[in-house]
C-alpha cells in the first residue's frame, strides 16, 4: 500500500532568454505544430517570511492570480547542477487568494513585490514554452520541463529545442522578481 499523502518531488528546469521579438519564436512553434494552450495575464504577489529572509535563502513564496484562478507556489533554492535554472516547486490552488493573503499577513509574512506579465503558452510533448511580456522588463521566452526527482537528460532536451526554435542568448538564471528588483 502506498502513502498518497507523500508528495512526489518535482523539479522545475527551465531556460529563460531575453528576446527582441516573440514573433519568430511563435511562428516556429506554430510550424512545429506545438499545441497552443492559451494566453493569459498573470499577476504575481511575492511574500517574505517573518522567520527567514527568502532573498537570502534563495526561496520564493508566490500568490498568482490568473483568469479567475489562484495558485500558491513555493520555490526552493536554485540548484546549479543542471546549467539552467532548476529548483524544487510545490503548487496548490486556493479558493480565495484574498483570504490566503490575509492569512499570510496575520502570520507575519510581508509582501515584497508584484510582477505582471502577459504569457502565451505552448506545449510540445512534456515541454512547455512560454512567450512572456513582463511589465518593466520586456520580452522573454521560457522553455520548461517539470521533472520528477532528478532532471536527468532534461537540460540537453531543452537546449535542443532552443536551437531548433531559434532561441539564442545567454540563459537568465534570475527570476522575473530578481530582475525587477535589480533594476530599482
Which residues participate in catalysis according to the annotation?
46
Distance, CA of 159 to CA of 168 (rounded, Å): 10
**Does the CA dihedral 32-38-41-45 come out positive or negative?**
negative
- Grid coordinates of 95: 479558493
* Contacts of residue 41, Cβ cutoff 8 Å, sequence gap at least 6: 66, 67, 116, 117, 118, 119
Distance, CA of 89 to CA of 151 (rounded, Å): 13
Nearest to 62 by CA among 147, 177, 182, 142: 177
165 by Cβ neighbours in 10 Å (0-12 / 13-18 / 19+) ranks as buried
- Grid coordinates of 78: 536554485
Amino acid at each position: 500500500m502506498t502513502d498518497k499523502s507523500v508528495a512526489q518531488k518535482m523539479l522545475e528546469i527551465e531556460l529563460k532568454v531575453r528576446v527582441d521579438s516573440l514573433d519568430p519564436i511563435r511562428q516556429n512553434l506554430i510550424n512545429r505544430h506545438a499545441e497552443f494552450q492559451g494566453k493569459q495575464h498573470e499577476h504575481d504577489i511575492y511574500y517574505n517570511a517573518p522567520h527567514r529572509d527568502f532573498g537570502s535563502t534563495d526561496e520564493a513564496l508566490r500568490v498568482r492570480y490568473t483568469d479567475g484562478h489562484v495558485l500558491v507556489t513555493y520555490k526552493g533554492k536554485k540548484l546549479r547542477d543542471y546549467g539552467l535554472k532548476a529548483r524544487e516547486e510545490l503548487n496548490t490552488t486556493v479558493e480565495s487568494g484574498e483570504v490566503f493573503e490575509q492569512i499570510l499577513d496575520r502570520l507575519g509574512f510581508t509582501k515584497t513585490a508584484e510582477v505582471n506579465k502577459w504569457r502565451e503558452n505552448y506545449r510540445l510533448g512534456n515541454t512547455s514554452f512560454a512567450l512572456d511580456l513582463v511589465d518593466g522588463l520586456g520580452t522573454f521566452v521560457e522553455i520548461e520541463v517539470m521533472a520528477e526527482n532528478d532532471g536527468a537528460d532534461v537540460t540537453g532536451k531543452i537546449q535542443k529545442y532552443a536551437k531548433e526554435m531559434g532561441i539564442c542568448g545567454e540563459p537568465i538564471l534570475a527570476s522575473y522578481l530578481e530582475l525587477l528588483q535589480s533594476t530599482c
